[in-house]
Structure 1
Amino acid sequence: MLGVPFIDRWLSNTFKPKTFDDAVDRLSYVTTATLLTFFSIMVSCKQYVGSAIQCWMPMEFKGGWEQYAEDYCFIQNTFFIPERSEIPGDVEDRQKAEIGYYQWVPIVLAIQAFMFYLPSWIWSSLYKQCGLDFPSVISEAEALRSSDSDTRKKGISKLVAFIEDILETRSKNEYGRFYCYRFGKGLGSMTSVLYICIKLMYLANVFIQFIILNKFLGNETFLWGFHTFADLYAGREWQDSGVFPRVTLCDFSVRKLANVHRYTVQCVLMINMFNEKIYLFIWFWFVFVLITTLVNTICTIWRLSIDSSRHNYIRSLLSGGQHNMKDERFPIGKFTNHGLKQDGVLLMRFIDDHAGAMVTKEICSSLFQNYLQNDPYARPVHHGHSTKSTSPGIEEGPHEHLYTPEKMGLMVPDYPIKQA
């Protein structure tokens, strides 16, 4: 990006996309964080290597005096008074007109970049505690997409067995419930709850970014970017609006023997030409990220929390046969809630996003077949007669009610299926 090998390598390694997230997550912790880091480096080069400020000096200032005055005015805040207005004589009035953000622009941009990266770092650190090895599963699924037929069959079989182990599809533990989420060891909702919390952190971060931006620039409205763009479109420049002024005033004192001489000099802040364009772009970019993150967060909560949404998604992965998967006899809901659980549905979505729909359909179909073979007499919902089994929680019925893959119109792969 910058043409500097060390910096390019550091940026690519730091903001490296992960396999266990979606495109909107990467919009925040990769794209936005990289943009802010790039702007921070660019402003730092101009500010500390180039000439950030130049001041008009009295004739009596010679040599080092001019350099001292410019350094002092850059470190100390300058103040902006419109050209058509009279410079106030009161020191307090001048202090009220001070602007001091330009010295801190690189540091604040770097902090904002870190804040966009922080939710991803927390997610990468905590998901491992839930016992799901998302990167391994998704990486293997991505590799299977381009594999030959025999390698693909063997890989699907091994991957399905591994997914069953990490999802604990046969666990019968007791659990507590809060709405649609079950809490307890191995109950398959901890990772989903964590991921929703991370999504809310991404959303809250964008709101906090707007607050930081407005406070930092001294604006009281969240529509600062829109107003600034409207001013520029109407031809109202910084001389009247006072937004990122290029020409400011600076007060400083010089001691000569026992006397203190006070000077007011006029300075040019060349750095504000960069700051204006950068922050105007950042404001509109934050609006885009906010809208995208808000919609994505709502959709994620809906997809993982609402039973019908999860059932419909798994039903779409299992569709493609000659039977109608919406038939109420088929235990899609039980497989989704007790086989895959919330975490399994989340994993299927990650695989779908990174490895494609075909690989995801094959994996989900194999998981479903294994689930039916391990529990073939799951209670069907039908209008016929059924008798109670001697085993608690099991319904007996005619043999045609057994859930075989062929009867359900599933894609039946020709490789071995893991047995209970």
Structure 2
Amino acid sequence: MVFKAISSLKIKVELKPVVDNLVFRLHYRYTYIIFMTSCLLATLYDAIGDKIECITSVDSDSFSDVVNSYCFIMGTFTVDRLHGQKPGVNTAHPGVGPQQPGDELTYHTYYQWVPFVLFIQGVMFYVPHWLWKKSEGGLFRVIIQDLSISDYLGSNLQNYSGRKERFNALSTYITHHMNAHRSWAFKFFLCELLNLCVVVGTLFFTDWFLGGEFLTYGTSVFEVVKLDPENRTDPMSYVFPRMAKCTFKSFGPSGTIQIRDVMCLIATNIINEKIYLFLWVWIVLLTTVTSVWIVYRILTIVLPFFRIFLLKARANSAMSSEVSKVMRMASLSDWFLLYNLAKNMEKTVFSEFIQHLAEDLTPSTDTLPLKDIESKSIL
């Protein structure tokens, strides 16, 4: 009985009106969280051991600590010629083995910068949203006011007794501010374009950061998944080697320079390789989706009939003629405002409003001179 009584109560639920869209939220919400989580994971060295551990012939913990710190800061390297060869024959590990004069070396100095780069990239994905919120200043929320109600006294929105007053206020505002939101709309379009610039810039910057290997990193990994593990070259071991070489120079007991060619286990790369494989998939998908969305945005800007079609899809089919009347007097920025109003209203409520707005925008004959009314009736 208690639950039945509670379920019979009708509670007003007001949604926070928003102008942005799913693609926009993929950037400042989901991608931002992904990069910040990746930044945190890249610093969890304790979960896998020390960030780097080098094998030395000196039985001294302090000496080993110095070598570990030096190789982590200065970087390690692998021999390009030894990649793809079977470990245990000519190499101890992929890319790790005796080097010969003329061999090309790949130096790995990025891993100490990974958490910082991931953090900065995550912030960059949030910047367009921050710029939009600063420039928008809550204008849309003030305009729509309580018309964003999605559930009031049940599913019957006709019970929303205050909608007529809201319709009058909103219709009056729009009719008196036609084409006055151009700056507001184009700032949003600019932020959408900035989202595309950020994701494309992230793609190419990460490729540069990882030595030109990121653009093809994901496809290379997926291509070798089905191959025999004994006869394949793992792209992850090439971009993120778990074992690498490091040259450490020091003075011996007599003051002569001793050169030690040490082999180092880079434990942090065990996490980095997984992080960047996921980021590759996500960024490629996000770049594709954002590019398609920008094409859609360009179509809405240059094709008026496309804008009319989109607005009609947000209203009841019976309001098709009213939408056409409104759009004959509406600019691009007016359409953008109306379309976002439609997104934040129930379809029935927006249909009522668009009918109300069409009536307000239709010139009334009550204010025309008598001779003009007579001439119109003759025609």
* TM-score after normalising by structure 2: 0.78
Gaps of 5+ in 2: 1-15, 92-96
What secondary structure, in the 3-state scheme, does the structure 2 residue paired with 1:153 have? Answer: coil
Residue number in structure 2 paired with 1:40: 39
**1:88 shift after superposition:** 2.5
C-alpha deviations, 1:338-388, integer Å up to 9, x for none?
3x432332233323334442332233222222222xx236xxxxxxxxxx9
When structure 1 is superposed on structure 2, of 278-287 and 345-354 the one drifting more is: 345-354
Residue number in structure 2 paired with 1:141: 147
Residue number in structure 2 paired with 1:69: 67
User: Match for 2:339: what amino acid?
Assistant: R
User: Match for 2:166: what amino acid?
Assistant: K
Residue number in structure 2 paired with 1:102: 111
**1:199 shift after superposition:** 1.6
Q: Do the aligned partners of residues 277 and 144 (structure 1) sit closer, same or farther apart at CA in structure 2, a change above 3 Å counting?
A: closer
Q: Check whether the contact 1:156–1:362 (CA below 8 A) recurs between aligned residues.
A: no
Larger RCO, structures 1/2 (Cα 8 Å, 6+ apart): 2
Following the alignment from structure 1 to structure 2, what is the Cα–Cα distance between the partners of residues 295 and 361? 29
Following the alignment from structure 2 to structure 1, what is the Cα–Cα distance between the partners of residues 34 and 132? 21
Q: Check whether the contact 1:144–1:152 (CA below 8 A) recurs between aligned residues.
A: no
Kindly, what percent of the aligned residue pairs are identical? 23
Residue number in structure 2 paired with 1:152: 160
Residue number in structure 2 paired with 1:22: 21
Following the alignment from structure 1 to structure 2, what is the Cα–Cα distance between the partners of residues 341 and 164? 17
Q: Do the aligned partners of residues 143 and 370 (structure 1) sit closer, same or farther apart at CA in structure 2, a change above 3 Å counting?
A: same
C-alpha deviations, 1:269-309, integer Å up to 9, x for none?
11111111111111111111111111222212322442112
Number of residue pairs matched by the alignment: 342
Q: Do the aligned partners of residues 243 and 152 (structure 1) sit closer, same or farther apart at CA in structure 2, a change above 3 Å counting?
A: same
C-alpha deviations, 1:209-247, integer Å up to 9, x for none?
110121111125733321222123324343896131111
Residue number in structure 2 paired with 1:193: 186
Following the alignment from structure 2 to structure 1, what is the Cα–Cα distance between the partners of residues 207 and 72? 22
User: Match for 1:102: what amino acid?
Assistant: Y
When structure 1 is superposed on structure 2, of 69-78 and 145-154 the one drifting more is: 145-154
Residue number in structure 1 paired with 2:98: 87
Q: Check whether the contact 2:171–2:356 (CA below 8 A) recurs between aligned residues.
A: no
When structure 1 is superposed on structure 2, of 195-204 and 21-30 the one drifting more is: 195-204
Following the alignment from structure 1 to structure 2, what is the Cα–Cα distance between the partners of residues 312 and 396? 35
Following the alignment from structure 1 to structure 2, what is the Cα–Cα distance between the partners of residues 398 and 371? 21
What secondary structure, in the 3-state scheme, does the structure 2 residue paired with 1:252 have? Answer: strand
1:308 and 2:297 correspond: no
Q: Check whether the contact 2:326–2:357 (CA below 8 A) recurs between aligned residues.
A: no
Q: Do the aligned partners of residues 101 and 232 (structure 1) sit closer, same or farther apart at CA in structure 2, a change above 3 Å counting?
A: farther
Residue number in structure 2 paired with 1:272: 269
Q: Check whether the contact 1:317–1:364 (CA below 8 A) recurs between aligned residues.
A: no
User: Match for 2:62: what amino acid?
Assistant: G
What secondary structure, in the 3-state scheme, does the structure 1 residue paired with 2:245 have? Answer: strand
Residue number in structure 2 paired with 1:376: 364
Q: Do the aligned partners of residues 270 and 191 (structure 1) sit closer, same or farther apart at CA in structure 2, a change above 3 Å counting?
A: same
Q: Do the aligned partners of residues 237 and 342 (structure 1) sit closer, same or farther apart at CA in structure 2, a change above 3 Å counting?
A: same
Q: Do the aligned partners of residues 190 and 227 (structure 1) sit closer, same or farther apart at CA in structure 2, a change above 3 Å counting?
A: same
Gaps of 5+ in 1: 1-16, 173-185, 378-387, 402-420
Q: Check whether the contact 2:28–2:129 (CA below 8 A) recurs between aligned residues.
A: yes
Following the alignment from structure 1 to structure 2, what is the Cα–Cα distance between the partners of residues 36 and 317? 35
1:255 and 2:264 correspond: no
C-alpha deviations, 1:150-201, integer Å up to 9, x for none?
7623145325514642x4x2358xxxxxxxxxxxxx5343222222222211
Q: Check whether the contact 2:144–2:170 (CA below 8 A) recurs between aligned residues.
A: no
Q: Check whether the contact 2:48–2:268 (CA below 8 A) recurs between aligned residues.
A: no
Map 1:179-190; keep pairs closer than 5 Å. 187-190=180-183
The one of 205, 218, 222 aligned to 2:211: 218
Q: Check whether the contact 2:207–2:214 (CA below 8 A) recurs between aligned residues.
A: yes
**1:78 shift after superposition:** 0.4
Q: Do the aligned partners of residues 390 and 212 (structure 1) sit closer, same or farther apart at CA in structure 2, a change above 3 Å counting?
A: farther
Q: Check whether the contact 1:188–1:344 (CA below 8 A) recurs between aligned residues.
A: yes
**1:397 shift after superposition:** 2.7
Residue number in structure 1 paired with 2:279: 282
1:232 and 2:219 correspond: no
Following the alignment from structure 2 to structure 1, what is the Cα–Cα distance between the partners of residues 205 and 146? 41
